[in-house]
Amino acid sequence: MDEKLKKLYEIASKGVEEEKKYAERLRSLANRIKHPVLQALFKAIAHDSEKHSFILEAIKKYLEQERPLLSKEELEEIKKEISEHIREEAEAIRELNELRSEVDLPQLKLLIEAMLNDERIHHELLVSIQRIIAEKETVEEDDFWDYIWKHSPWHGTPGG
Ligand SMILES: [Fe+2]
Ligand SMILES: [Fe+2]
Would 120 be classed as within a structural domain?
yes
Residue 113 confidence (pLDDT): 95
In a shared domain, residues 90 and 122: yes
Longest dimension (CA), the chain: 53
Ligand 2: centre distance to CA 113 (Å): 13
Residue 160 confidence (pLDDT): 43
Residue 130 confidence (pLDDT): 84
Would 155 be classed as within a structural domain?
no
Residue 75 confidence (pLDDT): 82
In a shared domain, residues 32 and 81: no
CA 154, CA 94: separation in Å to the nearest integer? 22
In a shared domain, residues 96 and 52: no
Would 156 be classed as within a structural domain?
no
Would 83 be classed as within a structural domain?
yes
Quick one: which ligand is closest to 49's CA? 1
In a shared domain, residues 77 and 145: yes
pTM for this prediction: 0.80
Domain ranges, residue 135 = 72-150
Would 158 be classed as within a structural domain?
no
Q: How many domains does the chain have?
A: 2
End-of-domain residue from the set 36, 63, 90: 63
Ligand 1: centre distance to CA 150 (Å): 23
Query: Helix 141-150 and helix 106-135: axis angle, to 10°?
Result: 150
Residue 106 confidence (pLDDT): 94
CA 30, CA 39: separation in Å to the nearest integer? 5
Task: For the chain, give the DSSP string.
Answer: --HHHHHHHHHHHHHHHHHHHHHHHHHHHHHH---HHHHHHHHHHHHHHHHHHHHHHHHHHHHTT--PPPPHHHHHHHHHHHHHHHHHHHHHHHHHHHHHHH---HHHHHHHHHHHHHHHHHHHHHHHHHHHHHH-SS--HHHHHHHHHHTSTTS-STT-
In a shared domain, residues 54 and 80: no
Would 124 be classed as within a structural domain?
yes
Can you give the pLDDT of all 160 residues of the chain as single tens digits? 899 999 999 999 999 999 999 999 999 999 999 999 999 999 999 999 999 999 999 999 999 999 888 788 888 888 889 999 999 999 999 999 999 999 999 999 999 999 999 999 999 989 888 887 777 655 677 777 887 888 787 776 555 4
Would 160 be classed as within a structural domain?
no
User: How far apart are the two ends of the chain, measured CA to CA in Å?
Assistant: 29
Q: Which residues surround ligand 1, an ion (CB under 5 A)?
A: 49, 52
In a shared domain, residues 144 and 83: yes
Quick one: which ligand is closest to 93's CA? 2
Quick one: which ligand is closest to 121's CA? 2
